[in-house]
């Protein structure tokens, strides 16, 4: 048996949907089910061809986090792709369990949206998991919530294993009354081509990736605006560095979610290394996520690092002591 999990959230550390998915995965793997997870935010340029991954699945989990309203754009894109490109005959035998965790109002509406969409596609639905989570730590540590998730997952496993029958739904009749294009059987090469055509920025993203790989060898040949912005941050940190003593050591990473780049700031005494790249998680003292807009406000002296963290504009994990030290390490002057 094979179950695919499609996650439509943003991958934030504090998203309780991730805890629910991990619990579901653990239960299914104990039952000897092959589980594959697809994070749609990581594959946003190839969501269209992810419908091909349904071919070998017996069941799927559609998991979303309602942060303000609805199921989010990534999941809607995936459902649109299923309508346009998935094998509708195969969908008739695939069971779907919705998982909707809300930080605000609307988990029931989002669950209903997923159920109606999957039934309209012709698939089979199972009872889902919905919750409103006000306190993430309480939700993730409460045994009663874990037992509920485990029980729902076991019921999902049983309905797939026993090929349980469902009552007829009017949503299925909608699909029967609307002409749908025939599914396209694509090779991996054709899927890649299709992804390029239907993803507006696929070619741009590929070019950016190629540029990143060649940066170290051809720094002088890079004249794009993205490159200038990249080195502008490095220069700002170097020019405003204030060492905190010879014994101070810390590694900060700042991931820019809007451009998919990570800035590494390595400090050893009065020596600063600042570059874009990766760093082993075990060596990182503070890991942060934000956008270029927020970072511009910080380096322009209009917002402090800790102030961005307190306001929610910057998400941070690791040693909070080093987090507070950041604003002493870099004293940015307010620009007119």
Ranges 66-80, 163-177, 238-252: which has the least confidence: 163-177
pLDDT grade, residue 212 (50/70/90)?
A: low
Specify the CATH number for the domain of residue 324. Answer: 3.30.1050.10
Q: Is residue 213 part of a domain?
A: no
Q: Is residue 298 part of a domain?
A: yes
Q: Are residues 281 and 178 in the same domain?
A: no
* Tokens found for residue 136: 């993430």
Q: Are residues 130 and 230 in the same domain?
A: no
Q: Is residue 204 part of a domain?
A: no
- Residues of the chain above pLDDT 70, percent: 80
Q: Are residues 249 and 183 in the same domain?
A: no
Please give the Cα distance from 235 to 98 (Å, whole number).
47
What value does the mean pLDDT take over residues 188-202?
53
Q: Is the pLDDT of residue 317 over 60?
A: yes
Q: Are residues 29 and 123 in the same domain?
A: yes
Tell me, what's the pLDDT at 336? 46
Q: Is residue 214 part of a domain?
A: no
pLDDT tens digits, one per residue of 252-280:
999 988 888 899 999 999 899 998 888 88
Q: Are residues 6 and 134 in the same domain?
A: yes
More confident residue, 209 or 284: 284
Tell me, what's the pLDDT at 187? 53
Q: What is the pTM of this model?
A: 0.55
Q: Are residues 12 and 101 in the same domain?
A: yes
Q: Is residue 69 part of a domain?
A: yes
Tell me, what's the pLDDT at 245? 86
Q: Is the pLDDT of residue 296 over 50?
A: yes
CA angle 255, 260, 266 (to 5 degrees): 35
pLDDT tens digits, one per residue of 105-158:
899 999 999 999 999 999 999 999 999 999 999 999 999 999 999 999 999 999
Note down the domain range covering 27: 2-197
Cα atoms found within 13 Å of the Cα of residue 271, Cβ hemisphere only = 3
Specify the CATH number for the domain of residue 137. Answer: 3.40.50.360
Mean pLDDT value across the chain: 84
Tell me, what's the pLDDT at 141? 93
Q: Is residue 23 part of a domain?
A: yes
Q: Are residues 151 and 265 in the same domain?
A: no
What value does the mean pLDDT take over residues 282-299?
90
Q: Is residue 211 part of a domain?
A: no
How many domains is the chain partitioned into structurally?
A: 2
């Amino acid at each position: 048996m094979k179950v695919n999990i499609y996650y439509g959230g943003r991958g934030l550390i504090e998203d309780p949907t991730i805890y629910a998915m991990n619990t579901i995965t653990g239960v299914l793997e104990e039952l000897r089910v092959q589980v594959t997870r697809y994070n749609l935010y990581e594959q946003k340029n190839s969501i269209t061809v992810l419908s091909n991954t349904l071919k070998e699945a017996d069941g799927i989990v559609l998991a979303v986090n309602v942060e303000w309203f609805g199921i989010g754009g990534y999941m809607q894109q995936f459902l649109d792709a299923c309508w346009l490109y998935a094998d509708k005959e195969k969908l008739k035998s695939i069971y779907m369990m919705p998982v909707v965790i809300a930080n605000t109002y609307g988990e029931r509406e989002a669950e209903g949206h997923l159920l109606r969409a999957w039934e309209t596609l012709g698939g089979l639905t199972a009872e889902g998991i919905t919750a409103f989570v006000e306190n993430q730590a309480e939700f993730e540590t409460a045994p009663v919530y874990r037992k509920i998730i485990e029980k729902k997952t076991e019921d999902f496993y049983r309905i797939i294993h026993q090929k349980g029958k469902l009552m007829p739904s009017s949503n299925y009749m909608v699909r029967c009354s609307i002409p749908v294009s025939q599914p396209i059987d694509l090779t991996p090469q054709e899927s890649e081509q299709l992804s390029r055509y239907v993803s507006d920025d696929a070619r741009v993203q590929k070019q950016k990736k190629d540029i990143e790989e060649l940066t170290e060898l051809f720094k002088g040949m890079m004249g794009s605006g993205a490159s200038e912005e990249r080195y502008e941050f490095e220069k700002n940190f170097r020019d405003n560095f204030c060492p905190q003593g010879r014994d101070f050591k810390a590694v900060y990473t700042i991931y820019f979610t809007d451009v998919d780049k990570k800035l590494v700031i390595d400090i050893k005494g009065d020596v600063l290394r600042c570059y874009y790249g990766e760093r082993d998680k075990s060596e990182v003292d503070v890991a942060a996520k934000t956008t270029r807009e927020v970072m511009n406000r910080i380096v322009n002296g209009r917002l402090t690092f800790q102030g961005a963290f307190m306001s929610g504009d910057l998400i941070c994990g690791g040693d909070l002591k080093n987090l507070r030290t950041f604003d002493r390490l870099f004293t940015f002057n307010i620009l007119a």
